Amino acid sequence: MTAAADSAPAPSAAVSVGRASMVFNAGRVNEVAALTDIELDIQPRDFVSLIGPSGCGKSTLLRLIANLLTPTSGEVFVNGKPAAQARLDQDYGMAFQQSGLFEWRSVRKNIELPLELKGWAKQRRADRANEMLELVQLPEFGDHRPWELSGGMQQRIAIARALAAHPPLLLMDEPFGALDEMTREHMQAELLRICAAAETTVVFVTHSIPEAVYLSNRVVVMSPRPGRITDVIDVDLGGERDEDTREDDAFYATITQVREALRGAEHDSGQPVRGVDDR
Amino acid sequence: MFFVALALVAVLWEVYKALGPERGGELFGSTVIPKTNDRVMPHTWEMLAEFFDPEVRDTPLVWEAVLGYAWFTFRLALVGLLLGTFIGVGLAVLMARFRIVERGLLPYVVASQTVPLIALAPQIATIAGNWGLPKWTWVSSLGAFLAFFPITVATLKGMKAAPPAALELMDSYAAGWWTTLIKLRFPTAVPSIVPGMKLAATASVIGVIVAEISTGLSGGIGKAALTYSQKATSEPAQVYTAVIGASVLGLALFGLVAGLEAVAMRHRPKEQLA
């Protein structure tokens, strides 16, 4: 990745995406323009959701930030460094829809995985794993196997693993997509508590409007192919978010605002909005 | 259940012996069903009794001798299995690492399994003799020759079974290929490798017995089967003691792998146990 010194973002930004475009299979018949001219700045301690219909490139954008993909053009900075360096430095943790826990490892050893790869000493790893188990409120499950746990518990362990090295940034790709509605709402509240405790910046991919609104202080609305950002909506629900927030007028008003922004995105692209969840 | 099945086989044997045609069934001049005379199909109790006869005059009893031969062959087959596992996993890792190796080598790996071992064994024994290696090392290596194949295939399949999200996770940790191999791909492959080893265990036994016979290595069950079968006129039941010995040693090696499986899989979800 080439970045002239003067184009580097202010060091205060947690994530800075500058005119990033992503084309898959460039020059071939199956060429797909997944993302076009993405500009996005995320400040430390922001909770930003990326929302849009299926195929709008929101997961691709997350993978550009994670440096799992390299943009065809444009640049991505994480913590003021090029994304590639940030990945090498493990400046972020990641969680997916499938918890992706390793079934042959105990819960504790799963949480320790990123620390092992960083070369931490055994005792330090064990201490941190205990701390993380406390944080996700599953202290008694350290020696269980992941497959002995429920889906929600597995996802909490995956979050503990993503945050084990105390990265300043957490990237999440529909982490609660496979959970039932009750568990999902519970996990959303848990995630806010955990991220507040760990002082983590979060980029969260979802196709659920209420989930995006409940969790975020900014919702980034994306249009389908070629994926672009059509709107950024600030969410102000005032004060602590709890179960009452879900019945708040401001909550509903913001949901409506996001939904209309998504319809606008649909109108712009001339394609119907699919795969966005009103739940 | 095992003993019930064994008894059933013995009963079927005796029933056929009692009811089947003495001279066997012939179709267009060739025998299509076996003769039932005592030389071809001795009574099951004669086989059992044979175990308690001396092997030849003034020697230990047959069961002691057969047990010794089986133990000898078991060790060769075990070496073959271990060597085959080592080679099989190594090849699979190489193929997974370099696509070009997989494309170039896989056809030869498949072809290697259709090479007639009997034709190959004497040549290999001669080469081994020239190199001054003891014969048993080459007998074992022929066991490994048959054993490595199912392990290569199983390991390759298992390593490719790593879920994309897990691979992305390792990528997000900036983990290199070898780290990903050790932390993710290899553990993912274990549930495939172990069944591969079960196939390899029986393949190794077959390879070693065939190699014993064709290289003329004495001391094992292969040579014993050959020697006993040459005495079919005087002691028709004796060859079956070697057959039983070979089966027992095959089961023992298989059992060893099954034990290994139980250890390797003790922390895995139960439905993965084959």
Domain positions in chain B are 1-41, 43-272
On the question of pLDDT at A190 being above 70, the answer is yes
Nearest CA in chain A to B271: A147
- Give the separation between CA A127 and CA A138, rounded to whole angstroms: 15
Distance from CA of A113 to the nearest CA of B (A): 9
- Chain B residues close to A113, C-beta within 8 Å: 173, 183
The pTM (predicted TM-score) of the whole model is: 0.80
Verify whether the Cβ–Cβ distance B168 to A94 is below 8 Å.
yes
Closest to A222 (Cα-Cα) out of A5, A17, A85, A14: A17
Closest in A100, A106, A147 to B269, CB measured: A147
pLDDT digits (tens, 9 = 90+) for B85-136: 999 999 999 998 888 888 888 888 888 888 887 777 778 777 877 887 787 8
pLDDT digits (tens, 9 = 90+) for A217-231: 999 999 887 888 988
CB-neighbour burial class of residue B256 (10 A; exposed 0-12, middle 13-18, buried 19+): middle
CB pairs under 8 A between A and B: 48
Most confident of A28-32, A43-47, B35-39: A43-47
Verify whether the Cβ–Cβ distance A103 to B269 is below 8 Å.
yes
Nearest CA in chain B to A173: B165
- Chain A residues close to B184, C-beta within 8 Å: 102
CB A161 within 8 A of CB A94: no
On the question of pLDDT at A46 being above 50, the answer is yes
- Region B159-187: what's the mean pLDDT? 92
On the question of pLDDT at A272 being above 60, the answer is no
**How do strand A201-206 and strand A47-51 relate by DSSP bridges?**
parallel
Closest to A166 (Cα-Cα) out of A218, A203, A141, A131: A131
CB A164 within 8 A of CB A129: yes
CATH of B43-272, one of 1.10.3720.10, 3.40.50.300, 3.40.190.10, 2.60.40.420: 1.10.3720.10
Between B146 and B128, the higher pLDDT residue = B146
- Quote the mean pLDDT of chain A: 86
Residues in chain A: 279
pLDDT digits (tens, 9 = 90+) for B235-264: 777 788 888 888 889 999 999 999 999 988
- Chain A residues close to B266, C-beta within 8 Å: none
CA B127 to centroid of chain Cα atoms: 24
Residues in chain B: 274
Where in chain B does DSSP place strands (E)?
25-27, 30-33
Most confident of B20-29, B131-140, B177-186: B177-186
CB B85 within 8 A of CB B151: yes
Residue A3: predicted pLDDT: 43
- Give the separation between CA B231 and CA B242, rounded to whole angstroms: 12
pLDDT digits (tens, 9 = 90+) for B207-243: 999 888 888 888 888 888 888 888 777 777 778 888 8
- Region A83-98: what's the mean pLDDT? 90
Verify whether the Cβ–Cβ distance B168 to A147 is below 8 Å.
no
A5: confidence class by pLDDT, cuts 50, 70, 90:
very low
- Chain B residues close to A94, C-beta within 8 Å: 168-169, 172
Tell me, yes or no, if B265 comes closer than 8 A to chain A by beta carbon: no
Token pair for residue A91?
């400046």
Q: Name the one residue in this structure whose structure tokens are 């059933």.
A: B8
Residue B195: predicted pLDDT: 92
Angle at which helix B117-131 crosses helix B186-215, to 10 degrees, equals: 80
Verify whether the Cβ–Cβ distance A117 to B175 is below 8 Å.
yes
Distance from CA of A68 to the nearest CA of B (A): 7
ipTM above 0.85, yes or no: no
Q: Which helix (H) or strand (E) holds B170?
A: helix B164-172
